Amino acid sequence: MNHEIVELEEETAVETPKTGTFADLGLSEEILKAVTEMGFESPSPIQAQGIPPVMEGLDVIGQAQTGTGKTAAFGIPALEMVDPTNNAVQVLVLCPTRELAVQVSEEIGRLAKYKRGVRIEAIYGGDSIERQIRSLKKGVQIVVGTPGRVMDHMQRRTLKFDEVRMMVLDEADEMLDMGFREDIESILDDMPAERQTILFSATMSKPIMSITKRFLNDPVLIKVVRNELTNDNIEQVCYEVKPQGKLEVMTRLIDMYNLQSLLVFCNTKRKVDEIVEQLQVRGYSSEGIHGDLRQQQRTNVMSKFKAGVTTILVATDVAARGIDVSGLDAVINYDIPLDEEYYVHRIGRTGRAGMSGKAFSLVARDEKFRIRQIENFTKVKIEKGVIPSYEDIVGIRKARFVEGLAETIRESGDDSLYDDVLELLHHSGFTTEQIVSAMAKQMLGVQKNDYADANLAWEERRSDRDRSDRGGRERDRGGDRFGRGSERGGRFESRESDRGSRFGNRDNDRGARFGSRESDRGGRFESRESDRGPRREKSAPGPVEAGMTRLFFNVGRQDHIMPRDFVGAIAGESNIPGKDIGAIEIYDKFTYVDVPERDARVVVRAMDGNTIKGRPVQVDIAK
């Protein structure tokens, strides 16, 4: 029997009797108590429609974006199914990134608060594998991990799947994009035949459907439509800004709306570092998170942000996977995403749980067409905002200063400790007006800069108006004809910058479609092995390109490792863009891989002692 697809809209679904309450889903008292303590009143659409079939033991495919509550949709049934008296692994959850693995394990842990004897372990690269092995030996019922580290434990025989009854692929599309297809298939092949498989993905691409047909048995399909993340409680505004004025406009928006918890998205790791540095120079409490950070650094950054010590978190899209912070005041798109679905993912992090939120996008002239594509995709009109002036911001800060000072005076009571300060300053020859003005200047911290009197908005050129009047026909003939970027390379630079290689393990599915495009990017690795036939062993490797460092890997052709395996492993474990990886020269017993100089040490730390296709590798900078 083929199960029908269930399509839902967030707002209408919540009102239907089917969603009801968690108690209506037949959950145990322990789970209901934990859910209530976590503040959930009623299940989200993906939970209401997903929990019953998962509880029945059926395979399920859920198409839903970040923020829809899918962790509980599989976490609650998993906890209800687990036998606490059995110390073997009974549930395996695969996640694309270490951040998401940590978040999922923590949320399942909160749901399991009153389920005695249930143990959950997160396993991922960057964490001590010896500590993970010790924990697994003690007995764990639920394991949440990244594909690379799970494969590592499989090879070491420290993670056994003999008694796994439920397998979950969370954000499967992201795992495939990062080059983990072969690892996922190897893990699924090692699973017991009699198991339940749950798959969640924001998109249903051909590779996803290929996996579902091969590994899932008559699955129930549930789909939460995209407009549930672009609902009315999120105020969406775009500002047409000159590129050099983006930081100034962003800080004005922060001041104008008094944003105390803000997530800023950039398309590249380098841009994240630049923005954080500039914000800190201006006195804003900000931190950045991207693929180059070690796990301890990421943990520290997220701890400070969740505690409110840091008010602004600047992130790339992939690094933000797994970030789950409630009560965000706003999301700012410093760079406009090159993927429309990424826009939906980004803004869906504010305005959650019925609260209001703001999503501001800073649009340079060559990004305007992307906003139109996003509007067409989401079916939502993004309003054009007016950039606050320097005088507006000064006025707002003055008003807040006066309000805060008045509140301090009202609360000071009989405290006379500072009563003589005014008198001391008067004795120094200053008037009351001078003293208050200096105090305000010191407290407000508003200083005129080069942008104070400048026009930061770009003005529409005649060519822009003509192009708009012709219905965008220019894009079909000119620089935008490839559908994504007015700057042709831009599509690849930003979309690939933090996702690893999108093409390393997708070649089999996309065929010749990317043939010419791959020749300049990931495909250059494949051509050496497959397009040229048998390759003669060279006596010496080719020259190293400027700005690159050559790494030595102790595995080669005899280990049946292909170039895409190196791309997928390095991108997945090191979180560097797959497109940044240079030449890969595979010999019989070893391999040379060129990586950017700035990333060389990161790759060595991440890969040395790790595995590629289950084979232990040793990595060092080539002599």
- Which are the contacts of 210, defined by CB distance < 8 A and separation ≥ 6? 509
Distance CA 401, CA 40 (A): 38
Residue 382 DSSP code: P
Query: In this structure, what are the phi and psi dihedrals at residue 169, rounded to the nearest 5 degrees?
Result: -110, 105
Element (DSSP H or E) covering residue 168: strand 166-169
- Mapped to the 3 state alphabet, what secondary structure does 106-166 carry? HHHHHHCCCCCCCCEEEECCCCCHHHHHHHHHHCCCEEEECHHHHHHHHHHCCCCCCCCCE
Percent composition of the chain: helix, strand, coil (DSSP 3-state, to 5): 45, 15, 40
142: β partners: 91, 120
- β-strand pairing of 120-123 with 60-63: unpaired
Domain ranges of the chain: 6-226, 230-387, 391-444, 500-621
Q: What is the amino acid identity at position 138?
A: K
| Residue 521 · residue 492 · CB < 8 Å | yes
Query: Can you give the pLDDT at residue 83?
Result: 94
Question: Is 142 in contact with 82 (CB distance < 8 Å)?
Answer: yes
CA distance 86 to 303: 34
Place of tokens 């700012």: 332
Residue 201: beta bridge partners? 63
**Which of 117, 497, 113, 107 minimizes the C-alpha distance to 270?**
497
DSSP 488: T
Does the domain at 500-621 match CATH 3.30.70.330? Answer given as: yes
How far apart CA 505 and CA 578 sit, in angstroms, is 11
CATH number of 230-387: 3.40.50.300
Do the domains 500-621 and 230-387 match in fold?
Answer: no
Give the whole-angstrom CA distance, residue 431 versus residue 339: 58
**510 Rama class: left (phi>0) / alpha (psi -120 to 50) / beta:** alpha
Residue 282, Cα to own-chain centre: how many angstroms? 26
> Residue 443: its pLDDT value, please?
66
Two tokens at 610? 């790790």
Specify whether the CB–CB gap between 375 and 226 falls below 8 A.
no
CB 310 within 8 A of CB 285: yes
Across the chain, which has 623 residues, the per-10-residue mean pLDDT values are: 39 40 88 86 85 93 75 93 94 88 89 92 88 93 94 93 94 83 91 92 82 91 62 84 90 90 90 92 89 80 87 84 73 87 81 76 86 85 89 79 74 67 77 77 61 63 46 40 36 39 38 35 38 44 84 91 86 78 90 90 84 85 84
6-226 maps to CATH 3.40.50.300:
yes
Residue recorded with tokens 């964490």? 127
Q: Specify burial of residue 218 (Cβ count, 10 A radius: 0-12, 13-18, 19+).
A: exposed
- Name residues whose C-beta falls within 8 Å of residue 342's C-beta, 6 or more positions apart in sequence: 317
When computed from its CA atoms, the radius of gyration of the chain, rounded to whole angstroms, is 27
Cβ burial of 137 (10 Å; 0-12, 13-18, 19+) is exposed
**pLDDT value at residue 352:** 65
Q: What is the DSSP string of 502-526?
A: SSTTTHHHHGGGGHHHHTTTTHHHH
DSSP secondary structure of 63-112: E--TTS-HHHHHHHHHHHH--TT--S--EEEE-SSHHHHHHHHHHHHHHT
Helix (H), strand (E) at residue 300: helix 295-306
Instruction: Decide if 91 contacts 168 (C-beta within 8 A).
Output: yes
- Give, in degrees to the nearest 5, the angle at Cα 576 between 570 and 577: 100
Q: Using an 8 Å Cβ cutoff, are 526 and 534 in contact?
A: no
| pLDDT value of residue 267 | 85
Please give the structure tokens belonging to residue 33: 């108590």
pLDDT of residue 180: 87
CA distance 159 to 142: 11
Q: Using an 8 Å Cβ cutoff, are 590 and 556 in contact?
A: yes
**b/e 255-266 (16+ beta carbons within 10 angstroms → b):** bebebebbbbbb
User: CB pairs under 8 A, 24+ apart, for 414-420?
Assistant: none
